[in-house]
Amino acid sequence: MRKAAYAGLFYPKTSNALTKILEECFSGKLGPGALPSKPRPGALPVKAVICPHAGYVYSGMAAAWSYKALAEANLPELFILIGPNHRTNESGVSIETFETPLGFVRADQDFAKALVKKGNIKVNEGIHADEHSLEVQLPFLQFALGDRTEKIKILPLLASDDLDLDKAANDLKETISELKTKVSFIVSSDFTHYGPSYGYLPFSDDIKENLSKLDKEAIEFIRKGDVKGFEKYIHETGASVCGYLAIILLLKTITFDKVSLEQYYTSGDVVGDYTNSVSYASIVFR
């Protein structure tokens, strides 16, 4: 059992308080403005979303756009969650059940074992124990899906520098195909971390406008599915997108017909101070 490590830190630790803040994320001025509705007949499946992983008071309204899209689409059998490892340079999946104040989310152990058997991705429970990037996604998933959460399983995967992204993408595609699993991806990433607290100060004037330009250019490479362009842009600008490896892995794994930027803002927009600011985006692939 993987216990909730960040309840009371990134989000409330009681179910009532957590439900209240999740409702506010959907109804807030930067959120989608409404709670998720039931899937509409003929709705396109959502292949993937990219959404942030900061404290809910900052990034929750951006994340709500992604989870509204997921909740209103056809339900997959498996959500593959990919996020960065903020603590070490190790990658790996977890096969444990994750607990949050809203209950439990089960890992798909059969899928995980088939994936690991290919030899490139390992089970690594230790790196998941203290990592927040995937944990903070689960209350959103539970809230958005409601009682349908019991029908789904997850595969939590942390991607770091030790992972061969080409091989990992091939392994994911082959495992999905071999097991005939209906999958949606949830990629956890904040965008630019700006300011002295993050050691990233590429500009000092017109910070709000320059942050938007920096992030939107990165997002445009994502929208085009231009993996090489995105990777080159990150390296050339030094843009501190913490989940860039997870994003690259996603782009190497999926094909898509339509992609939309549902929401974008920064923590500076929330608090009115850009001295230190983190950018958040909700991107939906169909």
- Is-contact 280 191, C-beta < 8 A? yes
Residue 228 lies in a domain: yes
In this prediction, residues 238-255 reach a mean pLDDT of: 97
Helix (H, G, I), strand (E, B) or coil at 247: helix
Parent domain of 254: 15-285
pLDDT single digits (tens) 128-168: 999 999 999 999 999 999 999 999 899 999 999 999 999 99
pLDDT of residue 112: 98
38 — pLDDT class (breaks 50, 70, 90): confident
- pTM of structure: 0.98
Task: Please list, in sequence order, all residues whose beta carbon lies within 8 angstroms of the beta carbon of residue 31, skipping any fewer than 6 positions away.
Answer: 24, 25, 60, 61, 64, 65, 263
Looking at the predicted structure, is the pLDDT value of residue 44 above 80? Answer: no
Residue 97 lies in a domain: yes
Residue 226 lies in a domain: yes
pLDDT single digits (tens) 186-230: 999 999 999 999 999 999 999 999 999 999 999 999 999 999 999
Residue 241 and residue 199: Cα distance in Å, rounded? 13
Residue 248 lies in a domain: yes
Residue 163 lies in a domain: yes
Residue 179 lies in a domain: yes
Residue type, 115: L
pLDDT of residue 24: 98
Residue 155 and residue 96: Cα distance in Å, rounded? 9
pLDDT of residue 42: 79
Residue 242 lies in a domain: yes
CATH code, 251: 3.40.830.10
Residue 117 lies in a domain: yes
Closest by CA to 248, choosing from 169, 194, 171, is 169
The number of helix segments (H) and strand segments (E) in the chain equals 11, 10
What's CA 90's distance to the chain center, in Å?
Answer: 18
Give the total number of structural domains in the chain: 1
